Amino acid sequence: MSASMIRRRVVVHGTVQGVFFRDTCRREASRHGVNGWVRNRPDGAVEAVFEGTVDGVGSMISWTRQGPPSAQVERVETAEEPFEGLAGFGVRQG
């Protein structure tokens, strides 16, 4: 495993459900070569895990601060986690 590979968990608060946040996130992750997953939370937030290069994950975190055009992001919480080596990027239910 390369030291340049990182993992971050983000929780995005605001008007982020029902605005194609998850599907757009999946497409952005693919574009940046980032693995992981994204899901809606019962509290109205969206949670995601991003794994990849520092640049790729950084780009995804930056993207979550705005999200897709219909989203209204109020705040983004970011936590560092140990890299697991996930493959692909999926949209999870609940």
* 23 located within any domain: yes
Query: Could you tell me the CATH number of the domain that includes residue 45?
Result: 3.30.70.100
Tokens representing residue 21 in the block: 């946040």
Q: Report d(CA 91, CA 37) in Å as an integer.
A: 6
In a domain, 69, yes or no: yes
Task: Quickly tell me which residue has 């930056």 as its tokens.
Answer: 62
Q: Is residue 58 included in any domain, yes or no?
A: yes
The residues that are catalytic are 22, 40
DSSP H or E segment with residue 10: strand 5-15
Residue pair 60/34 in contact (Cβ under 8 Å)? The answer is yes
pLDDT of residue 94: 73
Q: Specify the number of domains making up the chain.
A: 1
Kind of pairing between the strands at 35-40 and 72-81:
unpaired
Is residue 15 domain-resident? yes
Give the residue numbers spanning the domain of 57. 5-83
Average pLDDT value for the chain: 96
SS3 state at 50: strand
Q: What are the tens digits of pLDDT across the range 23-61?
A: 999 999 999 999 999 999 999 999 999 999 999 999 999
Q: Is residue 25 part of a domain?
A: yes
